[in-house]
Amino acid sequence: MSRLASAASAVRSRWSRILGSATALTIVLAVGGAAVTPPQAARAASCKAETCEGKWAGDAGCLADKVVADDQRILVESPEDSVKLLEGTSTLYYSPSCQSTWTDWLITFDETYWEVEFQFWELTQYGANEMRKPAAQSPLFPDAYVNYTTAGVNLWRSAMTDWNKSVRACWYVVGSGDPPTPNNDPDEQLECTKWN
């Protein structure tokens, strides 16, 4: 046994008596420079199809089996010289276990002070195909319901909806006037995925 392996074994033995085996494993694996923690069990899905409507994918255990259904590049360039000002992705996901869909928007490059807004739209399954934005309870303001919220650094996530509905993810740079919608965008501000 090498000296490093022997030392690691001694540290693991000592720390496992003090902290428990999972914590000791994390400490021993951190000796190489980067801490590695044991994988956590995926949260079981707590909703399915229409019962996921208006919930957050992470809270409902729907992230573990997410599948990309559609994605779109977010890109804003300077009209004068085509220099990149803003870049990211708009990714539509679905979860087979939850039978639900949502969108993540990730901004990977931002050289602006512009406010970017996101929209997640659904068409109702029956009747007149009304278009609406699903909403979930705000994690920041419990009395408010929102179409999307932050889900990490430069990452935003929409509320979920049943995957039997047609959905579309959109984004735009905020300007003056009313927010655009897929049916009312006279200034052609809105960039959207196709209906899925």
- Give CA–CA dist 189/196, Å, rounded: 21
**CA separation (Å) from 117 to 47, 103, 138, 144, 164?**
28, 13, 16, 18, 25
pLDDT range class, residue 134, cuts 50, 70, 90: confident
- Residue 72: what pLDDT? 94
Whether the full predicted model's pTM is greater than 0.85, yes or no, is: no
Q: Mean pLDDT, to the nearest integer, of 128-142?
A: 78
Alpha-helical (H) ranges within the chain are 3-19, 21-30
What would the two tokens of residue 49 be? 């199809």
For residue 139, the SS3 value is: coil
- Residue 142: what pLDDT? 79
What would the two tokens of residue 21 be? 């085996």
Lowest mean pLDDT among 32-36, 75-79, 124-128: 32-36
**CA separation (Å) from 58 to 35, 127, 158?**
24, 31, 11
pLDDT range class, residue 2, cuts 50, 70, 90: very low
How does 6-21 read in b/e, with b if 16+ C-beta sit within 10 Å? eebeeebeebbeeeee
Q: Is the pLDDT assigned to residue 175 strictly greater than 80?
A: no
Q: Is the pLDDT assigned to residue 65 strictly greater than 80?
A: yes
- Residue 87: what pLDDT? 93
DSSP class of residue 136? E
- Give CA–CA dist 75/101, Å, rounded: 24
- Give CA–CA dist 43/83, Å, rounded: 42
Residue with tokens 């650094």: 153
Q: Mean pLDDT, to the nearest integer, of 99-106?
A: 95
* Percentage of residues of the chain with pLDDT beyond 90: 34
Backbone Cα Rg of the chain: 22
